[in-house]
Structure 1
Amino acid sequence: MRLDLTVLAIPGFIGAMAAEYAWQRKHPAPPGTRAGDYEFKDTMASLSMGLGSLVAPYVSKTLIGPLAGRGRAARTAMTVAIGATAATTALDVIRKLRSDDFGAAGVADWDTRVLQRTQAPSDGAPVRPVLERITGRVAGIAVASTALVVATEWGARTTGEKFFGRTPLDLGDGALVATLAVLGWDFIYYWNHRLDHEVRWMWAMHEVHHSSEHYNLSTALRQPWGDTMTLYIPYSLLALVGVRPRHIINARAINLLYQFWIHTEAVRSIGWLEKVLNTPSHHRVHHGTNSEYLDRNHGSILIVWDKLFGTFEAENSQPVYGLTKNIDTFNPIRIAGHEWVDMFEQVTGADTWGGRWSYLLRSPGWAYSHRRSAATVA
């Protein structure tokens, strides 16, 4: 059994965090003025997320892994997805017919009238008609089960071992192949990381890493738990050109290890290497919620991909860290799951299949703007 290099590096992570904390003690700043300072609850949340990310793959393999393939669990999940989709479509038709019938009888906008006269006593928000609520819940089950089946099947069919077994190419071992694996992983990572910010489904997983309003080495450990429930460009594509799976696994570890040290405010610049490498300065921009910093600097080891594909932004002002709307919690469960819950609720509130899938597949900004619009109309 091969030990993950990122697990072996844990003592180094702890030591580096201790060194950063010691540096901060020797270079104090007024309380609340330096986002890089450690705050106990925030640090504990980040460490909890990091530990959870180590356990999550084993849990998901046990719970979600059986949904791929042709076993009983996979057939059941597929049946639920198809059945819920059919039921939602039928309910959509019934709702449309009822609305048309009421309109033809001279009753203006049945749904609107019900919304206007049915108010929730607790907060004054309108209550949706029963049929609409049932349709929404069934639609949520349809979308969630379909997405889960697709994600698990995609992951099972795109492993490095399977791709390597389908190609006649084998580049063997050696430093050049290891370097190719690292560069190839870095290139694919850029596009996956960019999609993390441009597709809501992937953002629901990735926004965990952006949820801290602090920025220090502990922030690097604030890792997601749900990456098996999303779709990625498979890094195993490298296997098709002859890179052996073990080099791909090592490239992943090197990629993650590199990203640890760039989560700090203690290092301001590393000189001319800033032109080529992703650095603390470049990554501070990535974590900033300043309007000019949003969705910038997606690279991992190299920053050249951002410069080539138009997503680079230099650090010209102090970043404000966190989310565009912070969740104000240190509870790891809420940090990991709140965006998934929000997304599910928005899917259940949509009236059409286009709207439902848009809340998964369009950008987070689109989803948030439509949520605000819906709240304004209500």
Structure 2
Amino acid sequence: MQRPDLTVLAIPAFIGAMGAEYWWQRRNPAAPGTTRAGDYELGDTIASLTMGVGSLVAPFVTGPVVRRLAPGRTKGGAALLPLGAAAGVVTTVGDVVRRRRECGGQLPEAGTLPSSSSAPVTVRSRVDALSLMTSRSAVVAVGSTAVAAASIWALGTSATRLTRVAPVAARHGALTYLAAIAGWDFIYYWNHRLSHESRWLWAVHVVHHSSERYNLSTALRQPVAEAFTMALPYGVLTLAGIPPRYIEDARAINLIYQFWIHTEAVRSIGWLEKVLNTPSHHRAHHGSQRQYLDINHGSILILWDKLFGTFEPEGEPVRYGLTSNIDSYHPAVIATHEWRDIAADVADATTWAGRFGFLLRGPGWAYARREELASAAGSAAPHVAQPVMG
């Protein structure tokens, strides 16, 4: 008989804790005329709970999809790489033709960037057939490559697969169990950090940061598309002789621990603040102010952040949410807004470095680059007629 998931067994405790937090807030209301970000708001809470349920259901859908899209396993998977290659060829041809147009029929010298070319800047109409073809084929090329890579990576790094090649036999006992928890926590730190430093992973993780509230319901606002990215595999713990069952428990313990730190009701836990990740540390992690961006990535232990230079204590009051909030409680918007933005940015990019940069480089780089391209297009916009939308 399959062992139950500890996180599922903990659901009644999650609900009870949320009720207790709500009761505490009613007993300790915000000052008259002020708004407290930790208070529950119906639309936000429903959105968080919906995403939490979705995160439990999603693996039953995305898992089979990823397995079917793995190149060489099914007809769909076998077609994925040729599709990406064909789209890449179409995009490259479109790039060559476009650059010839912009340079008076001649390609610029090798190594010349479009921004440094002596040729006048040409702003293409959105209804230009070549532009549409190139932008759409670029999205197909980048998207199919990413899905194929994620599928291959997921199948090749699963705990089941790695167990077969483990150099040591699985060991059992309390010490191994503790090693599983510590090992998961260490790998989680790096995956969490990468989720803030690579936009591909950020597109998944941004779901959790999308709320402008901060209470225990926020902890349940979890991603639904983790199957479509690449992360450091927790399955490598099997290579150290840790059984897959211990790894699953370590995952659950990690998630259960993280639940209670999503609150404003607990301000400090004393000297343990030096060792553990706490509500104070995690509030700072959820902040959208500059000093709070990309810090405090630990789950159970805050020691990883102190060791690798990403620790920042909570200082000024935290402003929760994103640097540019989505202003929506709709689950579809919460789950897909960053993916749509990536697709739009890839479509607007004019080089392969830029296209894959919008997928792989940091969110900060992507947003800054988007503004640069928009500014360049805006400065040249008066020289071309814009299509009438209606």
Q: TM-score, normalised by structure 1?
A: 0.93
Give 3-state SS (helix, strand or coil) of 2:234's partner: coil
Unaligned 5+ segments in structure 2 are 108-117, 378-390
- Distance change (3 Å), C-alpha of 1:99 and 1:376: closer
1:50 counterpart = 2:58: no
**C-alpha contact (below 8 Å) 2:54/2:224 kept by paired residues:** yes
- Give the aligned partner of residue 95 of structure 2: 92
CA contact (8 A) 1:171 1:177 kept: no
Matched with 1:2 is 3
Structure 1 match to 2:24:
23
1:220 corresponds in structure 2 to 219
In structure 2, what is the equivalent of residue 123 of structure 1? none
Quote how far apart the aligned CAs of 1:100 are.
Answer: 3.3
What residue in structure 2 maps to residue 371 of structure 1? Answer: 370
For 1:78, the equivalent position in structure 2 comes to 81
Give the residue type in structure 1 aligned to 2:242. V
1:184-333 equivalences under 5 Å are 184-333=183-332
1:91-126: per-residue Cα shift (whole Å, max 9, x none)? 22222333334479xxx96872x64xx5xxxxxxxx
Contact 1:258–1:301 (Cα < 8 Å) also in 2: yes
User: Is residue 2:11 matched to residue 1:13?
Assistant: no
The one-letter amino acid paired with 1:38 is Y
Deviation at 1:170, TM superposition (A): 2.1
Amino acid at match of 1:94: V
| Cα distance in 2, alignment partners of residues 68 and 8 from structure 1 | 33
Q: Is the 1:103–1:109 Cα contact (8 Å) retained in structure 2?
A: no
| Amino acid across the alignment from 1:20 | E
SS in 2 for 1:295: coil
Give the secondary structure class of the aligned counterpart of 1:236.
helix
Deviation per residue, 1:193-219 (Å, 9 max, x gap): 000000011111101100000000000
Structure 1 CA distance, aligned partners of 2:4 and 2:34?
40
Distance in 2 (CA, whole Å) between partners of 1:154 and 1:282 is 32
Specify the code of the residue in structure 1 equivalent to 2:24.
W
For 2:114, the equivalent position in structure 1 comes to none
- Matching of residues 91-110 of structure 1 within 5 Å: 91-102=94-105
Equivalenced residue count is: 364
- Distance in 2, matches of 1:285 and 1:306, equals 13
Bigger shift: residues 288-297 or 258-267: 288-297
Greater CA drift, 20-29 or 130-139: 130-139
Structure 1 residues 32 and 3, CA gap change in structure 2 (3 angstroms): farther
Matched letter for residue 366 of structure 1 = W
Q: Hey, what's the Cα distance between the residues in 2 that align with 1:302 and 1:90? A: 51
Q: Which amino acid aligns with 2:146?
A: A
Residue in 1 that maps onto 2:43 = 41
Q: Structure 1: which 5+ runs fail to align?
A: 119-126
Partner amino acid, structure 2, of 1:273: L
- The letter of the residue matching 1:22 is W
How far is the alpha carbon of 1:306 from its aligned partner? 0.3
Q: Aligned in 2, Cα 1:152/1:142: closer, same or farther, shift over 3 Å?
A: same
Normalized against structure 2, the TM-score is what? 0.90
Higher mean alpha-carbon deviation, 131-140 vs 93-102, is at 93-102
- What is the CA distance between 1:149 and its match in structure 2? 0.6
The within-5 A match list for 1:336-375 is: 336-375=335-374
Q: Which amino acid aligns with 1:16?
A: A
Contact 1:103-1:110 within 8 A present in 2 as well: no
What secondary structure does 2:37 align onto? coil
> In the alignment, is the contact (CA less than 8 A) between 1:346 and 1:371 conserved in 2?
yes
Give the match for residue 60 of structure 1. Answer: 62
Matched AA of 2:362:
S
What's the offset of the Cα at 1:221?
Answer: 0.3
Report how far residue 32 of structure 1 moved.
Answer: 4.7
- What letter is aligned with 2:216? L
Secondary structure of 2:282's counterpart equals helix
Report the Cα distance in structure 1 between the residues aligned to 2:233 and 2:221, rounded to whole angstroms: 23
Q: CA deviation at 1:84?
A: 1.1
Check whether the contact 2:274–2:302 (CA below 8 A) recurs between aligned residues: yes
2:69 maps to amino acid: L
- What is the rounded CA distance, in whole Å, between the counterparts of 1:268 and 1:316 in structure 2? 12
Task: Write the deviation string for residues 37-86 of structure 1: whole angstroms up to 9, x where unpaired.
Answer: 00000000000110111111111123332012522121011221121112
Cα RMSD (Å):
1.6
Letter of the 1:67 partner, please give it: L
Counterpart for residue 122 of structure 1? none
Q: Is the 8 A contact 1:111 1:129 kept in 2?
A: no
Contact 2:71 2:81 in 1 (8 A): no
In the alignment, the residues of structure 2 paired with residue 32 and residue 226 of structure 1 have an alpha-carbon distance, to the nearest angstrom, of 36
